[in-house]
Amino acid sequence: GEQVEQLPSILRVQERSSASINCTYENSASNYFPWYKQEPGENPKLIIDIRSNMERKQIQGLIVLLDKKAKRFSLHITDTQPADSAMYFCAASAWATGGNNKLTFGQGTVLSVIP
Amino acid sequence: AQTIHQWPVAEIKAVGSPLSLGCTIKGKSSPNLYWYWQATGGTLQQLFYSITVGQVESVVQLNLSASRPKDDQFILSTEKLLLSHSGFYLCAWSLQGAGNTLYFGEGSRLIVV
């Protein structure tokens, strides 16, 4: 199977600074790496993703980097705002037996943006 | 547009009582369907997946079962709840095939007392 390690578990940053979350994975067959944001009491929502044929992707203030050689991917939030405060999950997907499009999630990072 | 609806929103149940959680997907035919579980403050763990009606595969053993009686419906159930079943249950769907985006429902929060 797949294992995904996510660090840090807690991240506190000042408003308008940047925040970075790092993840590593084990299965070299993993080819899809989404990031989810989860507000308290709500469901996780996809914010950005990257596939294995890319090294970098940016959507507005969100940047994801993928280093397949090191089996490492990261999320960078530039110009953070208090509204960015939430739990963030990275995940890795590999084709599993029986047609299971299985996402393995990291342990999560609680991001607090301090005004 | 696809919509995914889960019910109930929340439940408080006694240890040993039965449970049934439901999920309906509209606007997408023959999706892959999934149940995930999340302990408070924890990560998301896949419990079951289904690629077609009537076919459900278990990923972890937690004294739970799942069924897909219709193409757009996914049910999670147990006859006897344990304290360890408490948590947030999320239904999700994706297109069939590798590397497709997973979309979560609103979730059902379960407290077992």
Higher pLDDT, B59 or A84: A84
A83: nearest Cα among A42, A114, A44, A41? A114
Query: CB neighbours of A94 closer than 8 A, spacing ≥ 6?
Result: A2, A27, A29, A30, A31, A102, B98
Q: Which carries the bigger pLDDT value, residue B55 or residue B61? A: B55
pLDDT given at position A12: 98
Please give the average per-residue pLDDT across B70-80, as a whole number: 97
Q: Which residues of B touch A47 (CB under 8 A)?
A: none
CB contact under 8 A, B46 and A107: no
Q: What is the mean pLDDT of chain A?
A: 94
State yes or no: pLDDT of A94 exceeds 90.
no
The predicted pLDDT at position A97 comes to 66
Residue A71 · residue A38 · CB < 8 Å? no
Higher pLDDT, A56 or B97: A56
Q: Other CB atoms closer than 10 Å to residue A29's CB: what's the count? A: 12
* Interchain contact A88–B (C-beta under 8 A): no
* Interface-testing mutation among A103, A104, A109, with chain B (most B C-beta atoms within 10 A): A103
pLDDT at A101: 79
Across the range A53-76, mean pLDDT stands at: 97
Q: Which region among A33-42, B26-35, B65-74 has the lowest average model confidence (pLDDT)? A: B26-35
Partners of B25 in the β-ladder: B4
Identify which of B43, B59, B90 has the shortest CB distance to residue A43: B90
Q: Tell me the mean pLDDT in the region A41-60.
A: 96
Comparing A5-9, A94-98, B48-52, B91-95, the range with the smallest average pLDDT is: A94-98
Q: What is the mean pLDDT of chain B?
A: 94
pLDDT of residue B70: 95
CB-based contact (8 Å) between A45 and chain B?
A: yes
pLDDT higher than threshold 90 for residue B16: yes
Q: How confident is the model at residue A96 (pLDDT cuts 50, 70, 90)?
A: low
User: Which of A49, A94, A107 is opposite residue B43, by nearest beta carbon?
Assistant: A107
Question: The tokens of A31 are what?
Answer: 């080819």
Bridge partners of residue B77, in order along the sequence: B20, B65
Of B100 and A81, the structure prediction assigns the larger pLDDT to A81
- Which of A89-93, B85-89, B95-99 has the weakest average pLDDT? B95-99
pLDDT classification of A68: cutoffs 50, 70, 90: very high
The pLDDT of residue B62:
85
If one compares B25 and A101, the residue with the highest pLDDT of the two is B25
Residue A56 distance to chain B (closest CA, Å)? 17
Report the half-sphere exposure of A5 (CA within 13 A, side-chain side).
5
